Amino acid sequence: MASRYLTPHFTQDELKCKGTGLCNMDEVFMELLEQIRLEYGRPIWVNSGYRDPSYNDKISSTGRTGPHTHGKAADLRLYGDDATIVAKIAKELGMTGFGWQQKGEYKSRFLHVDNLTSVESKPGKRPWVWTY
């Protein structure tokens, strides 16, 4: 059975929780992600999208309330110049969180983007940039 598309370029299967199979992505986030893809002009692969709070609590230091649990975050398999280009586009379009994992094997590198507000975020200040 083919995966349902959430946008013209992103499917439910690639954004669903790897622990529970649920996919509760935020509609505004998905519109922004699609716009990033269109402006970038090349495919973008998602390493991680929605995470159920119980699953996120097992795999992330952000516990039950991290950006992925809101359906407002994705880890994009990008590195080098491509990560920089996509981060610039994402910031211009209104993304507020940027996490950089750019060391190790290429397949493990990614750019985290999210559109949490200062109220939803820990720490509350946005925009926020960090490295892993």
Among the residues of the chain, which ranges form H helices? Answer: 12-15, 27-40, 53-59, 81-93
Tokens of 125: 């200040």
Rg (CA), the chain: 14
pLDDT attached to residue 87: 98
CATH number belonging to domain 12-131: 3.30.1380.10
pLDDT at 2: 67
Phi, psi for 112 (deg, rounded to 5): -85, 135
pLDDT at 121: 79
For residue 123, pLDDT beyond 80: no
Which residue bears the tokens 């949490």?
Answer: 116
Query: Could you read off the pLDDT of 74-118 as tens digits, one per residue?
Result: 999 999 999 999 999 999 999 999 999 999 998 899 999 999 988
> What is the domain partition of the chain in residue ranges?
12-131
For residue 122, pLDDT over 80 is answered with no
Among 40-49, 57-66, 67-76, name the one with the lowest average pLDDT. 57-66
